[in-house]
């Protein structure tokens, strides 16, 4: 295995183009969000700087640039995803949804910041800091990368999440990661970025879980990676089975021993603060009174820092003319991207891909953006699932058990729309002659993409 020198900075340029970074301290932290999460990001920023006034804090916004953000938060260090210099950025913004895009650009912004700071932390915007993270910075003196596991103890109690889910979504929660300036860290970020930008989809049925599953391989490839086992780090619904929160003399503690360093309020609703995340089935609302004060205070902080941001629409959910970009359309674009002009912005009104989408009934103003249902909400579709089950039973009788088994394996493969490109074998026929002739060197909307 290649060994990396962690005593000197990486000599090559960081990923992407340099942006306007003006350090005032040696360390920095960054979070990533769309505009509708900006209120949460500001709570994180304020809580982090309260314990780390000697550090800089950045918010990278995954949205089209607009001036209102700077007007409302003039003293906040704001970065924009489109300024990171990622070649062909609109293509990534089109084929990835907001979560996938946010996680896929994470290694890029970390690399850019690491060129200016000795250490950089990433924290998800729905985190709040309750104590100093100095132990984390101390670990980064002797390690290139630090991560936290989802859980420190096994759990298979019939509820979710369990060890099964951790196998599907990753051993480490990448809502937090730290890197120090050294050759190994830059090599890790380069490796991680390439994987995320190429395969950063949320498709656990195919072994992909945005940026997280890749880092399961990290300890094997990068010996300087350190797994932090402090139970006060990254407390969240996925490890509450092993962690009790309490307060003593104004200090939050975990299991009455360890300082609560930061709590990850994943899937938190300020309108129902005592309800643990919908993504778990272990704790019913109100069943964790140890968290009530913590959650009530966090909900109040969200209200103080601009709940109005939550009503903002994600700009990359729409073509330039306001037509919705549905989740299915994103996946078909990922499957067929190479068939369309590379230098054309797919969001443009009249672009080759918009013409394709409209001609096949994949887009239109009647469509709306819908969230993916949770496992609990799938029960609302019981009638539909019964009909599907009856259909599958009929297929089983017709093809027999052996062919049925092979068919199910094939259906698992094409459960990703990215693997359904063959549904539109005639895709090139809807492109304008000029589009086909350019073969990636022109587009119909007149707006070109800079590739370098």
What pLDDT, on the 0 to 100 scale, is given for residue 439? Answer: 41
Q: Are 203 and 291 contained in the same domain?
A: yes
Q: Are 381 and 416 contained in the same domain?
A: yes
Does a structural domain hold residue 7?
A: no
Domain boundary (272, 304, 336) is at: 304
Peptide bond into 33 cis (omega under 30): no
Among 58-62, 244-248, 358-362, the range scoring the smallest mean pLDDT is: 358-362
Q: Are 278 and 393 contained in the same domain?
A: no
Mean pLDDT across the chain: 86
Q: Are 133 and 260 contained in the same domain?
A: yes
Q: Are 254 and 337 contained in the same domain?
A: no
pLDDT tens column, 366-413: 666 665 555 555 555 678 888 888 998 899 899 888 888 888 888 888
Does a structural domain hold residue 5?
A: no
Query: What span, in angstroms and rounded, lies between the C-alpha atoms of 375 and 380?
Result: 10
Q: Are 335 and 441 contained in the same domain?
A: yes
HEC string of 340-372? CCCCECCCCCCCHHHHHHHHCCCCCCCCCCCCC
Query: What span, in angstroms and rounded, lies between the C-alpha atoms of 52 and 337?
Result: 44
Q: What residues pair up with 227 in beta bridges, in sequence order?
A: 147
Domain that holds residue 293: 27-304
Q: What residues pair up with 203 in beta bridges, in sequence order?
A: 208
The pairing of strands 251-254 and 245-248 is antiparallel
430 in Cβ contact with 356 (< 8 Å): yes
What pLDDT, on the 0 to 100 scale, is given for residue 125? Answer: 96
Does a structural domain hold residue 216?
A: yes
What pLDDT, on the 0 to 100 scale, is given for residue 73? Answer: 65
Query: What span, in angstroms and rounded, lies between the C-alpha atoms of 89 and 105?
Result: 10
Strand order in the sheet with 245-248: 245-248, 251-254, 258-259
Is the pLDDT at 32 greater than 90? The verdict is: yes
Does a structural domain hold residue 22?
A: no
pTM of structure: 0.86
Q: Are 38 and 163 contained in the same domain?
A: yes
Does a structural domain hold residue 10?
A: no
Q: How far is CA 379 from CA 54, 276, 327, in A?
A: 50, 19, 21
Query: What span, in angstroms and rounded, lies between the C-alpha atoms of 47 and 300?
Result: 13
Does a structural domain hold residue 334?
A: yes
Q: Are 280 and 391 contained in the same domain?
A: no
* Residue at token pair 């959650």: 295
Q: Are 282 and 425 contained in the same domain?
A: no
The CATH number of whichever domain residue 137 belongs to comes to: 3.90.550.10
Does a structural domain hold residue 314?
A: no
pLDDT tens column, 210-225: 999 999 999 999 999 9
Query: What span, in angstroms and rounded, lies between the C-alpha atoms of 102 and 449?
Result: 20
Percent of the chain scoring above 70 in pLDDT: 84
363 in Cβ contact with 354 (< 8 Å): yes
Within 19-78, residue ranges assigned H as helices are: 38-51, 68-72
What pLDDT, on the 0 to 100 scale, is given for residue 281? Answer: 92
Q: Are 186 and 296 contained in the same domain?
A: yes
Does a structural domain hold residue 367?
A: yes
Q: Are 158 and 64 contained in the same domain?
A: yes
Is the pLDDT at 316 greater than 80? The verdict is: yes
The pairing of strands 27-33 and 119-123 is parallel
For 92-153, the DSSP string reads HHHHS-HHHHHHHTHHHHHHHHHTT-SEEEEE-TTEEE-S--HHHHHHHHH-SEEE-BS-SS
* Helix axis angle, 183-199 to 106-114, nearest 10°: 160
Task: Look at 149 and 4; give whichever has higher pLDDT.
Answer: 149
Domain total in the chain:
2
Q: Are 300 and 330 contained in the same domain?
A: no
Residues 66-80, mean pLDDT to the nearest whole number:
76
**pLDDT class for 4, splitting at 50, 70, 90?**
very low
């Amino acid at each position: 295995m290649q060994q990396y020198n962690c005593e000197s900075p990486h000599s090559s340029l960081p990923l992407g183009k340099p942006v306007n970074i003006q350090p005032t301290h040696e360390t920095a932290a960054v979070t990533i969000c769309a505009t509708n999460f900006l209120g949460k990001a500001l709570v994180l920023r304020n809580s982090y700087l309260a314990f780390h006034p000697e550090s800089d804090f950045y918010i990278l916004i995954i949205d089209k640039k607009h001036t209102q953000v700077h007007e409302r938060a003039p003293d906040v260090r704001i970065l924009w995803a489109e300024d990171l210099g990622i070649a062909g950025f609109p293509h990534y913004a089109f084929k990835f949804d907001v979560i996938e895009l946010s996680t896929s650009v994470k290694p890029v912004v970390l690399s850019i910041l690491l060129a200016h700071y000795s250490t950089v932390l990433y924290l998800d915007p729905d985190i709040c800091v309750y104590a100093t993270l100095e132990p984390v910075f101390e670990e980064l003196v002797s390690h290139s990368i630090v991560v936290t596991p989802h859980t420190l103890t096994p759990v298979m109690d019939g509820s979710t999440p369990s060890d099964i889910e951790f196998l599907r979504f990753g051993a480490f929660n990448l809502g937090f990661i730290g890197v120090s300036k050294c050759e190994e860290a830059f090599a890790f970020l380069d490796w991680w970025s390439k994987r995320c930008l190429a395969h950063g989809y949320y498709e656990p049925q195919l072994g992909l879980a945005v940026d997280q599953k890749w880092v399961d391989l990290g300890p094997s490839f990068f010996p300087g990676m350190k797994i932090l086992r402090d139970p006060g780090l990254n407390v969240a619904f996925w490890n509450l089975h092993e962690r009790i929160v309490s307060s003593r003399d104004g200090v939050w503690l975990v299991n009455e021993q360890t300082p609560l360093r930061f709590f990850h309020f994943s899937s938190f609703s300020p309108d129902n603060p005592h309800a643990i995340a919908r993504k778990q089935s272990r704790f019913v609302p109100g069943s964790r009174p140890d968290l009530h004060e913590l959650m009530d205070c966090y909900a109040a902080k969200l209200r103080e820092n601009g709940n109005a941001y939550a009503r903002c629409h994600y700009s990359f959910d729409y073509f330039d003319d306001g037509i919705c970009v549905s989740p299915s359309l994103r996946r078909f674009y990922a499957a067929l991207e190479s068939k369309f002009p590379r230098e054309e912005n797919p969001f443009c009104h009249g672009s080759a891909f918009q013409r394709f989408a409209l001609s096949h009934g994949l887009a239109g103003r009647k469509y709306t953006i819908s969230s993916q249902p949770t496992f609990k909400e799938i029960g609302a579709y019981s009638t539909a699932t019964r009909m599907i089950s009856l259909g599958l039973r009929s297929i089983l009788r017709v093809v027999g058990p052996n062919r049925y088994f092979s068919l199910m394996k094939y259906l698992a493969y094409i459960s990703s729309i990215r693997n359904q490109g063959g549904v539109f074998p005639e895709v090139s026929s809807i492109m304008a002659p000029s589009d086909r002739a350019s073969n990636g060197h022109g587009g119909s909307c007149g707006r070109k993409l800079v590739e370098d």
